[in-house]
Structure 1
Amino acid sequence: MALLQLVLVLCAWWRPSAPAALPAHAINGTSPAASATVSDSRVRQERSVLTNYGGSVGLSPYFADLQGRPSPTPPTLTTELTPPPPKCMDEETCNPLARYRTISGRCNNLQSPHHGTPGQAMHTLLPQRYDSPAVFRMRAVGGGLLPNPRHVSLLMSLAPEGAKVEGNSLFVQMGQFIDHDFSITTTVREMTPGGKSVEVDCTACSSWYNPACAPIPVPLNDPYQPPHLPTGERRCLPMTRSVGYLVKDSQGRPVLSQPNFNTAFLDVSPVYGSNRCTAEDLRLHRDGMLESDENHLLTKRPADDFPLCFTEAGYCLHSGDKRVNENVGLTSIPHWSDERLYQEARRINIAQFQNFVYGEYVPLLLGYHTAAKMQLMPNHEGYFLGYDPTIDPGVYNEFSTAAFRMGHSQVPKYITFMNDKYEVTYHIPLHYAFFNNTMLALGNVFDPLVRGLLGVSMRPTDLKLVDSLGNKLFMEKGDPHSGRDLFALNVARGRDHGLAPYVEYLKMCGVKEEVSSFADLESLMRPESLALLARAYEDVRDIDLFSGGLAEVPLPGSLIGDRFWFESPAAGFTHAQLQSIRRVTLASVICGVLDQRNPRIPVHALQTPHPQSNPERRCSELLTVDLELWRETPHSPSPPCTHQGQSYQEGALVPVSPCLACVCQPGGKMRCQCDLSGCKQTQAAEDCYCRRICGYSTPHLKPQYRQ
């Protein structure tokens, strides 16, 4: 079973290397040297020298040269970025009575079976803004090119740090897991002579001649990256464009519609996969379990199977099972097949994950008041009846490409390890751990690592990224200047996807009707942040969505249509099973990962420990799912529910009335809730239950909905 797979994947993403081979600094030892920063004297001159690309060879047709020299014309985009079709997708006929969701999300929406499946184009809140011929947002309001993303990043790094927040490092990792659960955009790839698919190499400044490349030139006065390579050529930060369907907008202009290659539902796809082939590859095909190694850890695969894997161990981790014996309550039901065990365990795990996300993560992200006001938190009891099949659950481009990337600013500087008293024992700079799982081979690291995630505060959501992300992202061993800049890449990616400028979203959301000057943003941003934006962008209407969003002051107390939703009657849980799932917290699941016997853990797993607001408790004091509620006795099964001569098994939705949601419970009993959405159906006026629920006095009266 995969009850703890979520926690293991969260931990495995850190993939730390062995402290003996890396500069792991003891907490009282010598700290690593501070990275270079842009001095004020330099910043005052950035308009004239900071973005001096020097020579036509290094010019970029995508980003502004602030000395005003002419730029070459970018390549005309035709179909070079068209994505390949998704593989191994389910195409079977939809079954309205299906008990389990499909791996690909197909048939979640019975009216539109493909909604939310991999390969569907992402939605946009506003029409995309593209400039021809490259189909890339390049032009500023004044007619010139938008500023170099690296130039923007260097200026934003000077912003003051935001106020301390309650969230911990696990909160950051949870956000990354959520993002990976429902959103994957793919960059353009090409085949090597050996037949291997690799990302198009856009490292050289001259690579912009390839329509798949938009390299970011390094400014001459960059405080960290040398502007020239050892060969004398100009240095650029690589930027490979996203794949997209080249289509026409409503006005006949070419736009790129980027697809999402993951399911759009919270279905723990980083653990189970989002297509049939991956799902089958991860399964053990015995007792409903996923694959694991001899130590009950994630399955190892050769490093050559992964495009980015820098481990010295020769292998990388393949999503599998953390504790093969964790769900002994289910595996002890001998008459269940491997398929039944797998599907039931997956259903329970998805339900718990959805409960964690909306019950613990979202309230901390948005603030409990906002989450409650927007009705985003799970119910305390009963079933959720708000499913709307007319809503397309697809992911929005703005959310995936800009808004949810706010988590990049929350990432702390180090990977920290703590003892059972939540005291720091040692830490490792983050950039040494990217795609490196060497330490996992040593064993006995999960307890200190998990405690580090629980005990170390996240960074505040602001304009700053730690040096490991701003200058050393994916830095290659032995080459200190091979790192990338995540802030710059996020800015460039937003333009690659044609996202509208930041101020247009303010108008769409009703925050600001018109924004014509930087002074119009004074009520939304700190003065220091606003001043830096004014130095980076010549016009307030040029601000990129990612930059503008991070510059906003967070709300007080915040950090910034699924048919199978676990509370929906269609999810197939009895009321007792649903209540058992609701009472489980992320902290209780983390307890199962720790090797220490009955350790102490903070009750709110996404916040740092505190004696009053977040006290520690023994794991034995925390509630877990009562798997006995799923037990069946083959020789004396629970009697089915019957309605109009039809039998319905435990957990099944029983069609008693359009205005009632009835689910079969143990013992052949039904639990029903009023469903006001049924009042809109044509047969409601003739139904006796609907006449009571909807307020009909005669069959011809219009329904009056009760609150």
Structure 2
Amino acid sequence: MDKPELTEFLSAEDMETILQVTACSSETLRPVCKSDCLSKRYRTITGHCNNRENPLWGAANTPYTRWLSPEYEDPRGAPRGWNPQHTYHNYTLPPVRSVSQEVLYTHNDNISLDVSLSHLLVEWGQWIDHDLTLTPQSPSTAAFKTGADCTHTCSRDTPCFPIQIPLSDPRTGTQSCMPFFRSAPSCMGGSVPFGRREQLNAITAFVDANMVYGSSDTLAIALRNLSSPHGLLAVNEFHTDQGLGFMPYLPRTQPHLDPCGPREVVSPETADKQNTTMGNRSFCFQAGDSRANEHLGMIALHTLFLREHNRLAEELHKLNPHWSPDTLYQEAKKILGAVHQVLTWDHYLPHVLGRGANQVLMPPYKGYDPNADPSISNIFSTAAFRFAHVTVHPVVNRLGPDYRLNPEHPALPLHHSLFASWRVVQEGGIDPVLRGLLLSPAKLQTADQMMVEELTERLFQAQGGLPLDLGALNLQRGRDHGLQGYCSWRELCALSAPTNESDLAGIMGNEVLAKKLLHLYGTVKNIDVWVGAISEPALPGGRVGPLLACLIAKQFKALRDGDRFWWQNEGVFSPAQRDTLHTASLSRIICDNTHIQLVPSDPFTRTLHPDDLLPCTHTSITHMNLLPWREPDSDPVCGAVPRLRLGFSVLCNSAVIYQCPTGYLLHGATHVTCDPNTHQWTPQPPTCQDIDECSTSSICPPHLQCLNTPGSYTCTEPVAPPLSASSIVASVMTVLGGVALIVLFLACYQRLFLRRAESKPECCQKKS
């Protein structure tokens, strides 16, 4: 009997329902790309249609690309190391916790400081990473076969892939394993029997500042202040930072539970009081990226660029008061995305790669290449761009206005700054955190100083539960994603692949480290790519070795060349606008959006002393001139641009596109164009006419009356109809008649009383 086709059991409608419910439709269905002027001018929030021929390239909720095929333990996509007894090249893989303990672990006090780079460079790396990659974990937290809770089981059962604690580990006795969830598989050939397992990137690949705006239409709308006529993002309604905005709060997920609130135990009465004050909101902030609350530095950058968007939108409104809120939002978003591109490629990458390697690996821009796939590679997301984890300082310094330690807000151990959003609200705002990032040096990575114990032994310890190990998590994630070993990636980059201990020691410039790695792995072919890559000494002037430089540059070159909206691509910005964007300065953004008055000229380089800082008024802290964004009032062919007396317009190439304010309806054409033959705008411009909302039944509660107002309506108490002249006379006569009756009654009463008095006997009258 032939095997029945799947379509015999499921109809086309059933398949479509399954695609929608599982969100697989976003991966499998080819989007329809618009071709109107505004679609060519602005990105889609989801990243779709950046490439017209391959509209899914770089879009949110699509699989990571592969530069080397995955290497799983079996055809079903089991991770490397799923079976601890499985051998690779005749050796089993070491537990990732053993690698972390023996190679990575560095005592907090045993670190060297970077003599030339600030900790803001480290922070910017994570900030940009959150613009590029987000790997969703399996939505299930229970084992598929047994139903066991993955946070409490040490058994391997998808999606549970717990990190085993070796017997030699100091944690033995307190825990047997650390919880770990497998990454969610992609729908596009991501599950057996349809194909090899692939993982998803939940956000757009492009450097477009989506950590500020989101990567879905729903989130983007939720983050906006829709009542603002200036295209602003929403700010916190409960607190300000000395008059400057914070991000909005997220709702609490459970009563009395606030993962971002103060760590001390809060009584139910105190929690109820706080719920009343904050409207049942938590201290967790809402942003375009779900990781915004991870630590104070991330919160500070999210807050900074929220304010910068609103500043840009306000400035653009002054230049173009006829622009709609949507146009102001889109233009500010477009500028902010371009600023991130300039700061990352021109300011950040040369410090990471080294200027020499940057010039070789990142040649000058030659224009948009529709054949370049900008999608994020699995190796970049899972290993290469996690290099900065070994440059994180174990202490978070918060500095006062004089850039010295402030006793009111003392320095914090790193694990006390994780998910501590409440601190920026109650402990001085974001200024102390930013000053600390500007003046504090990065940790220097060396062969014997890899990852501080704050990250290997205390990760999320302050949030309760068992602390995690970031190094072990990185290695386990690489195995979960089937990344090939260190040597294979060296070969991809045309670098020599080590075959023995001597080769490895020569590449890493350290015999002790080479011995440690071979003792753990048995053979160089089994070394996990992440630990091998971070072990290489840095290139001259850079902070990564040859393999990381190759992988990072390869990804950023694809992101630049494959982005149709890259800031230097012809037609995306005008020449004058590109000249302005080239002057973008992170120090200027800090000056414009905080109360900080002293900044370094290059915030990524280390400033040794506060006296070396510059005032925000210094000429080298350049302002970004937005005048090139002023829209012309006339066209060289058709003359004055037709505007609406009441309504919005935007000039897009040779067309004027119109939009009405809320409460008004556009009557006429949605746009007019310049006819080069008649030198006229055709057709006639539209008008915006008030919508009579009161014509809609039941728009107001039954006991209230609807009154139409320009652009809106009000619900008021019903007003009594005015009285006619006859009604007024009748009312007066009624009142006068009532008065006459009262006078008559009193007269009768008086006469009756006197008559009774006169009828009394004489004796009684005398006594009276």
On whether the aligned pair clears a TM of 0.5, the verdict is yes
Q: Deviations over 1:279-303 (max 9, x none)?
A: 1111112211111124221111223
The C-alpha deviation readout for 1:232-289, integer Å capped at 9, x for no partner, is: xx5211111001137879x999631111111110000000111111111111122111
For residues 93 and 246 of structure 1, the distance between their equivalents in structure 2, rounded to whole angstroms, comes to 22
After TM superposition, the structure 1 = structure 2 runs for residues 390-539 of structure 1, keeping only pairs within 5 Å, are: 390-425=371-406, 426-442=410-426, 444-462=428-446, 464-477=450-463, 482-512=466-496, 514-525=497-508, 526-539=510-523
What is the CA-CA distance between 1:453 and the residue it aligns to?
A: 0.7
Equivalent-residue separation in structure 2 for 1:356 and 1:430 (angstroms): 26
Between 239-248 and 173-182, the greater mean CA deviation after superposition = 239-248
Asked whether the equivalents of residues 70 and 481 of structure 2 are also in contact (C-alpha less than 8 Å), the reply is: yes
1:601-630 C-alpha deviation (Å, 9 max, x unpaired) = 101011221479975343453212212221
Match of 1:319 among 287, 303, 312: 287
Q: Does structure 1 residue 288 correspond to structure 2 residue 231?
A: yes
> Structure 1's 430 and 162: CA in aligned 2 closer, same or farther, altered over 3 A?
closer
Q: Distance in 1 between matches of 2:543 and 2:198?
A: 30
Q: 1:99 aligns with which of 41, 56, 62?
A: 41
Equivalent residues in 2 for 1:300-319, closer than 5 Å: 300-304=249-253, 309-312=259-262, 314-319=282-287
Q: Deviations over 1:494-516 (max 9, x none)?
A: 0000000001111221211x532
Aligned mates of 1:471, 1:600 — CA distance in 2: 36
Normalised by the length of structure 1, the TM-score is 0.70
Do the aligned partners of residues 326 and 555 (structure 1) sit closer, same or farther apart at CA in structure 2, a change above 3 Å counting?
same
Separation of aligned partners in 2, 1:550 and 1:104:
33
1:567 aligns with 2:568: yes
Q: 1:400 to 1:549 in 2, by over 3 A?
A: same
Relative to structure 1, is the Cα distance of residues 83 and 376 closer, same or farther in structure 2, using a 3 angstrom cutoff? Answer: farther
Q: Secondary structure at the match of 2:431?
A: helix
1:90 deviates by 10
Which residue is 2:629 aligned to? 630
Whether 2:76 is the aligned partner of 1:108: answer: no
Given that 2:141 and 2:151 are in contact with CA atoms closer than 8 Å, whether structure 1 keeps it comes out as no
Paired residue for 2:95?
Answer: 148
Could you tell me which amino acid in structure 2 is paired with residue 594 of structure 1? T
What is the letter of the counterpart of residue 606 of structure 1? Answer: F
- In 2, the alpha carbon distance for the partners of 1:108 and 1:405 equals 27
- Establish whether residue 372 from structure 1 lines up as the match of residue 319 from structure 2: no
Question: 1:566/1:485 Cα in 2 relative to 1: closer, same or farther (>3 Å)?
Answer: same
**Offset from partner CA, 1:104-161 (integer Å, 9 cap, x none):** 1111111111111112211122111111256211244344531100011000135786
Verify: 1:299 aligned to 2:248, yes or no. yes
Mark the structure with the bigger radius of gyration.
2
The one-character-per-residue Cα deviations of 1:460-517 (angstroms, maximum 9, x if unpaired) are: 23562122211111225565xx1000100110110000000001111221211x5321
Determine the structure 2 residue equivalent to 1:696: none
SS in 2 for 1:257: coil
Distance in structure 2 (CA, Å) of the matches to 1:187 and 1:488: 17
| CA apart distance, 1:535 | 2.4
| Contact 1:94 1:110 survives alignment (8 Å) | no
Counterpart selection for 1:336 from 320, 323, 329: 323
Residues 405-447 of structure 1 deviation map (CA, whole Å, 9 limit, x = unaligned): 0111111111111123322332001111212211122263322
Greater CA drift, 311-320 or 483-492: 311-320
Within 1, Cα distance between the matches of 2:323 and 2:41?
Answer: 15
Q: Residues 531 and 144 (structure 1 numbering): CA distance in 2 closer, same or farther, change over 3 Å?
A: closer
Which deviates more from structure 2 when the two are superposed, residues 268-277 or residues 384-393? 384-393
Task: For 1:54-453, list aligned pairs within 5 A.
Answer: 84-85=23-24, 91-95=31-35, 97=37, 98-132=40-74, 135-138=78-81, 139-157=86-104, 164-190=114-140, 201-208=149-156, 210-223=157-170, 225=171, 227-229=172-174, 235-245=176-186, 255-285=196-226, 286=228, 287-294=230-237, 295=240, 296-304=245-253, 309-312=259-262, 314-319=282-287, 321-322=306-307, 324-325=310-311, 327-332=313-318, 333-375=320-362, 385-425=366-406, 426-442=410-426, 444-453=428-437
TM-score by length of 2: 0.65
Quote the Cα distance in structure 1 between the aligned partners of 2:345 and 2:148: 38
Cα distance in 2 between the residues matched to 1:305 and 1:588: 40
Equivalent position amino acid for 1:570 in 2:
G
Which blocks of at least 5 consecutive residues in structure 2 are unaligned? 1-17, 263-273, 275-281, 289-305, 545-561, 640-649, 656-675, 677-768
With over 3 angstroms needed to count, the CA separation of the structure-2 counterparts of 1:518 and 1:404, relative to structure 1, is same
C-alpha change, 1:563 and 1:305, in structure 2 (3 Å) is farther
Indicate conservation of the 8 Å contact 1:104/1:274, yes or no. yes
1: CA distance, partners of 2:26 / 2:252: 23
Aligned partners of 1:415 and 1:427 also within 8 Å: yes
Deviation at 1:215, TM superposition (A): 0.6
How far has the Cα of 1:632 moved from its partner?
Answer: 3.1
CA change 1:175–1:641 in 2 (3 A) is farther
Q: Tell me if structure 2 keeps the 8 A contact 1:201–1:240.
A: no
Moved more, 519-528 or 91-100: 91-100
1:612/1:375 CA distance change after superposition, 3 Å = farther
Report the CA distance shift for 1:451/1:365 in structure 2 as closer, same or farther (over 3 A): same
SS of the aligned residue for 1:549 comes to: helix
Contact 1:272 1:279 in 2 (8 A): yes
How far apart, CA to CA, are the structure 2 residues paired with 1:339 and 1:253? 42
Deviation readout 1:563-608 (Å, 9 max, x if unpaired): 100111131x211111011112111111123214xx1210101122
In 1, are the aligned partners of 2:63 and 2:188 still within 8 Å (CA)?
no
Q: Which 5+ residue runs of structure 1 have no aligned equivalent? A: 1-78, 193-198, 378-383, 643-648, 655-667, 669-707
For residues 388-412 of structure 1, the C-alpha deviation after alignment (integer angstroms, 9 at most, x for no partner) is 1011111010010001101111111
- 2:693 is matched with none
- Please give the per-residue CA displacement for 1:633-676, whole angstroms capped at 9, x wherever unaligned: 6xx3353699xxxxxx978599xxxxxxxxxxxxx9xxxxxxxx
CA distance in 2, matches of 1:347, 1:502: 38
Looking at both structures, which has the greater relative contact order when contacts are Cα pairs under 8 Å and sequence separation is at least 6? 1
Q: Distance in 2 between matches of 1:511 and 1:92?
A: 42
Is the 2:63–2:200 contact (alpha carbons within 8 Å) kept by the matching residues of 1? Answer: yes
User: How far has the Cα of 1:326 moved from its partner?
Assistant: 5.4
CA distance in 1, matches of 2:194, 2:323: 56
Report which stretch shifted further, 130-139 or 540-549.
Answer: 130-139
Distance in 1 (CA, whole Å) between partners of 2:610 and 2:398 is: 24
How far off is 1:344 after superposition?
0.7
CA distance in 2: counterparts of 1:271 and 1:527, whole angstroms: 45
What is the CA distance between 1:550 and its match in structure 2? 1.0
User: Distance between the aligned counterparts of 1:653 and 1:146, measured in 2?
Assistant: 63
- Comparing both structures, which one devotes a greater share of its residues to helix? 2
CA offset digits 1:183-213 (Å, max 9, x no partner): 1101112389xxxxxx9942334442x2101
Correspondence for 2:303: none
Q: Describe the shift of the 1:608–1:303 C-alpha distance in structure 2 as closer, same or farther (beyond 3 A).
A: farther
> How many residues in Structure 1 have an aligned counterpart in Structure 2?
541
